[in-house]
A and B are shown apart, each in its own frame.
Chain A
């Protein structure tokens, strides 16, 4: 299968990007592992459950309706149940490799001229004694099971950890009939208040949740933390304790709360596996992007939590910008940022807000003190905190990789996604940038049959790569905004921009620029009702159905 722009992830960022690009006439294919669009934030009940009032479990329902209806009216092709495990670059095209089927053993590939990574994030949980007991789930996991399966894990829950996700999880579980006895937040409310200005947009939402907490009689316990989960073969209760100003547990403040469910989370981590495989530059755990949401690899965009955790509204703005940029660049045009100025302003202010949230909702500074030596840290390989400490203290391991080699921590099924932060904290070293060849386990039979084109090439952040799309008569390697020029060898003599629909099913080798229609010849894009949430440009400010620019070429002329 061939497409112009492939979007990985059908959450807020991916859908906003897909709709923005589709509205400008780009042939877009979206892949997602789930059985429907929405991502984690707008995860919908399974269709067979026939929920007639799904909005009871959601916030920003109007936004979801716009995305959903926009998708239905668009030309975007959505491929659900596609578990993408790697994206390769080569021969002037990108190849997305996915696994299908309930057992994820049937391979499928999609070829595209450009890739947009909107792979979201996942929660991270710091260990504490008893955290592996059945009944202890991530806050996001409890919410995902509720939103999709309409099911809760027990009758009495404690919601704990830190971060803005805890409030909606607590109110969601309570609305669904679970008795939520306490919301245990380690952050200091005064610290949150200090950021009141940056978080102004979030305050009404937070106030709404707070009112619901009151209504459901959820006891808020700020500056508290769970120090132990109790139970033999399943959770029976937790001990919570107060934290002092330094983030240490205050002696003598422990109290026992009976519960059969603990929903716990300490924030989100970006999901960057596919970007890693493509060689995109990263800054710590996030993928680096420019003002157009372009990664360091020509032809690869990223938006949403992948580029920094900031919530659904930020993901929508970033996705919108990424989709418009990709649409213009695919036509060989330089996009005009003025066209997405409202989304850029939203992005700016929400990124500031995200940084404030990060600061306000940090896990307790001395969390490692509560982790006993016999506490399992790596859940897959059952490696204890004692073993991690011994690797660092007795054997001199100074980085996560060495700890892993000595203890197997991070070597199991999840490849350290659950424990890497904790292992780094316990060993007293910085978290490594993860290096995972594939984003999910791949059957050996599939791997053996997969021609992985070429190994990912060395895309240095500033240098040139040889992945210009010369065979498609047009190159995405142009980075004119940074004054870069492309190698002339990548530039075909024809300057005709690529346009896709009529040729999109042809293999790359059969395509030549000369027999492709120019933008003017191309069928006008579908009149997609583009996304128009309050934080995105209004429909009047856009020109749906028309490319943003009809300039046939872009960037500096070839040199040499």
Chain B
């Protein structure tokens, strides 16, 4: 059993996005975080101080742990932003800005 089968989902066709240069499939309607989880990715940010990896924590947009760079825009909350065809998703290092 997986969640899609549990609710008998018939998703619209998947599209592709890139995650740190790797092409992965994503289902429409999902958030960037859900697409990354489905692709087996659980961390996509390193912290500003000690460079530790982070991913989803609160899952509802409150904690800001899941910040990610999407299409060159850093600090997007992956758990809120919908994934779009062709998105270029990159691990965000530190602030995400070159400084």
A: residues with CB less than 8 A from B are: 33, 35, 40, 45-54, 56-57, 102-103, 122-123, 132-138, 140-146, 148-154, 175-177, 233-234, 379-382, 412-414, 417-418, 440
Contacts and interface: CB of A to CB of B under 8 A. Distances in A.
Contacts of A145: 33-34, 37, 56, 59, 79
A418 B62 contact: yes
B22 interface: no
Nearest to A123: B58
The secondary-structure label for the interface of chain A is: loop
A149 B28 CA distance: 10
Contact of A51 (B7, B35, B43, B81): B7
Contact of B65 (A40, A51, A140, A379): A379
A154 B9 CA distance: 20
Interface in B48-76: 48-50, 52-65, 67, 73, 76
B27 interface: yes
A103 B43 contact: no
A35 B82 CA distance: 10
Contacts of A417: 62-63
Given A137-B56, A233-B53, A382-B47, A151 B10 contact: no
Nearest to A150: B3
Contacts of A50: 9-12
B25 to A, nearest CB: 13
Contacts of B16: none
Given A134-B55, A136-B57, A176 B9 contact: no
B8 A52 contact: yes
Contacts of B84: 102
A48 B42 contact: no
Interface of B: 1-12, 27-31, 33-35, 37-38, 42-43, 47-50, 52-65, 67, 73, 76, 79-82, 84
Nearest to B60: A144
A176 B2 contact: yes
15 contacts: A50-B9, A51-B7, A57-B7, A102-B81, A134-B42, A141-B58, A143-B59, A145-B56, A149-B31, A150-B3, A150-B30, A151-B3, A176-B1, A413-B63, A414-B63
B29 A49 contact: yes
A57 B6 contact: yes
Nearest to B43: A134
A101 to B, nearest CB: 10
Contacts of B80: 33
Contacts of B63: 138, 379-380, 413-414, 417-418
Contact of B57 (A103, A137, A177): A137
Nearest to B4: A150
Contacts of A414: 62-64
B78 to A, nearest CB: 10
A102 B82 contact: yes
A265 B37 CA distance: 20
A155 to B, nearest CB: 10
A212 B94 CA distance: 43
Given A141-B58, A142-B59, 4 more contacts: A49-B11, A150-B30, A233-B53, A414-B62
B10 to A, nearest CB: 5
Nearest to A58: B7
Contacts of A35: 82
